[in-house]
Structure 1
């Protein structure tokens, strides 16, 4: 079956998905290795991740094409990520619960947008599930953090780091799957 222009563009720029995954894994690993970090350091570390992820998502959106147009869910993901990173730098003194709710809202929005993107890709690629699963993980993580905002600071750091690592691994897997499509 011939690949659509959207899938061809995604396969051509597979490395951008892998790069997003690597950023997520790096953020998760650093947060796991430094569980006693202060809220300020966590805010700044997460801000760097959100900003980098947003920039890469925007680049990806304008390189992948759907009927000649950039992929709008990725544009929204990029803008949300950049905005989240800017807010993290502009207000680093926020409390742990506000940070948690901020990250939770970001994860819910990103999760929904990734699920929408996965649905669009599923129409083009048989049995595509990695991006949808990453979106579901983001959505569930965000909902969990909204429901239980008073969790201990150490537990929150570990949950955030595990989420970021798992999310990153899924994106890396998706990126290499897209790379395989390029050869097909």
Structure 2
């Protein structure tokens, strides 16, 4: 339990990165695909790296899901930087599949976390939002870049809020449990 409690700040960093990413996507929706690729690449690498770090710190329960999701997040970010000229549709599919997979991984990890912390649901909410976001992108791939930027921005802000709420819940659990 101590490993999860001491890692509350990783969830906070993921949440803050998601909100910053979301605000940037909403603030400049008319910018080129290159800027969106950079925003996504930075976010995916930060999110993936924090999942990897958490995966190596946690017990066997959710380790594999966090590590796999973290590796895919970092790889998605690297792909975004290596091939910045991707078309909007190609980027849309990368983001969609990454969102669906990471969302499923977070739902599984959240269910396992519920076995450790009573009534823990924010990780599952973040995962469900991620899956819904990915599926919506797959259903409507013809959406314009402006619509994609707004959809990504709103998703990232909602997801970030869920991760920050989870981090505070885990931190408060640390305080109540007397874990240093």
Q: TM-score range by the shorter chain?
A: over 0.9
Compute the displacement of 1:90 (Å).
1.2
Compute the displacement of 1:64 (Å).
2.4
Q: Within 2, Cα distance between the matches of 1:72 and 1:16?
A: 17
Could you say which residue in structure 2 is the equivalent of 1:164? 156
Could you say which residue in structure 2 is the equivalent of 1:97? 89
* 1:142 is aligned to 2:138: no
The counterpart of 2:78, out of the listed 60, 69, 86, is 86
The counterpart of 1:152, out of the listed 141, 144, 150, is 144
The counterpart of 1:41, out of the listed 23, 35, 42, is 35
State the SS of the aligned residue for 1:84: helix
State the SS of the aligned residue for 2:141: coil
Q: Within 1, Cα distance between the matches of 2:47 and 2:118?
A: 27
Q: Within 1, Cα distance between the matches of 2:141 and 2:165?
A: 31
The number of aligned residues is 176
Could you say which residue in structure 2 is the equivalent of 1:119? 111
Q: Within 2, Cα distance between the matches of 1:168 and 1:18?
A: 8
**Displacement over 3 Å in runs of 4+:** none
TM-score under structure 2 length normalisation: 0.94
Compute the displacement of 1:79 (Å).
0.3
1:73-109, CA deviations, whole angstroms, 9 ceiling, x for partnerless residues? 1111110111101111111101111111110010000
Give the superposed CA RMSD. 1.2
Compute the displacement of 1:144 (Å).
0.5
Structure 2: where are the runs of 5+ without partners?
A: none
TM-score under structure 1 length normalisation: 0.92
